[in-house]
Amino acid sequence: MTSPVIAALSLGLPRSRGYPGATDPFDEPWTSGIFKSPVDGPVALSVGGFDGDGQADLVNHGGGDKAVCAYSAGHYDVWRRLLGDATVSYGAFGENLTVEGLDESTVCIGDVWSVGEVLVQVSQPRQPCWKLARKWRIRRFAEQVVESGRTGWYFRVQREGRVTRGDSLTLVDRPHPLWSVAAANAVMHDRVGDVGALVALPSLSANWRRTLEKRLDVGTT
């Protein structure tokens, strides 16, 4: 079986777009780190993320649980067809790592993967925000991505080091084989599955745990 591989490594610091007084809401001023450009590496990765990468909204993005955003390379052909744009390139969904050979059904919460010199752990699925829709100028695009299940996921960093495009990923540990990213998405977005069991996973991100604990508290699982 061929090992998963980093098909693209993409980085970007926050950029501002739009202009005051715009009549189209898509053109109103906004700032985001969603615009990524490919690099070959090696690039240093610390617990806070990649050197040369950043987020504008540090309340909802970045941090230890969301140091690295990953997306499946296998989704791109689907999006190119659905968007009618054959030029859509890796990194276009704001991810740092575009991974060939993995997707939401084959990655689990708590997975520990070695890549390059580092160890990373899957912390939660990605929850696309309004900035993805703004980038693509498609009003419901964030919702469409969630509904498709092609969300991507986040890694936290357990061992710092350097990562290079073309590095292979090797699974080191899988403590929760029943909890794929797809299964976690089903609990959060479709309200299908055992909320309590997902909350109990020690490697689940603090943000997802808080959100799901509130559901348990009010009985809206």
d(CA 129, CA 141): 9
User: Quick one: pLDDT band at residue 1, thresholds 50, 70, 90?
Assistant: low
pLDDT at 57: 77
pLDDT at 220: 65
d(CA 69, CA 71): 7
d(CA 113, CA 6): 12
User: pTM of the predicted model, to two decimals?
Assistant: 0.95
Mean pLDDT (whole number) for 170-197? 97
Burial of 110 (0-12, 13-18, 19+ CB in 10 A): middle
Q: Which two tokens stand for residue 90?
A: 């890796």
pLDDT at 72: 98
What sections of the chain are H helices per DSSP? 76-83, 130-136, 141-148, 181-185, 195-199, 206-218
Q: Which two tokens stand for residue 171?
A: 């699974």
Residue found under tokens 């703004």: 134
**Architecture of the structural domain at 5-176:** Beta Barrel (2.40)
pLDDT above 90: residue 108: yes
Residues of the chain above pLDDT 90, percent: 92
User: Quick one: pLDDT band at residue 219, thresholds 50, 70, 90?
Assistant: confident
Low-confidence winner among 54-68, 98-112, 122-136, 175-189 (lowest mean pLDDT): 54-68
